[in-house]
Amino acid sequence: MCLSLPAKVLTVDGDMAEVSVGGAVFRAGIQMVEGIMPGDYVLLHAGFAIGKMKEEEAIETLRLLDEIDGAWQDR
DSSP-derived 3-state class of residue 61? helix
pLDDT band for 3, please (50, 70, 90 cuts): confident
Which segment of 10-14, 18-22, 61-65, 66-70 scores lowest on mean pLDDT? 66-70
The full set of domain ranges for the chain reads: 5-73
5-73: CATH topology is SH3 type barrels. (2.30.30)
Decide if pLDDT at 73 tops 80: no
Residue-wise pLDDT tens digits, 32-72: 999 999 999 999 999 999 999 999 999 999 999 889 888 77
| Residue-level pLDDT at 75 | 66
What whole-number distance in Å separates Cα of residue 49 and Cα of residue 42?
6
- The CA distance from 60 to 18, in Å, is 21
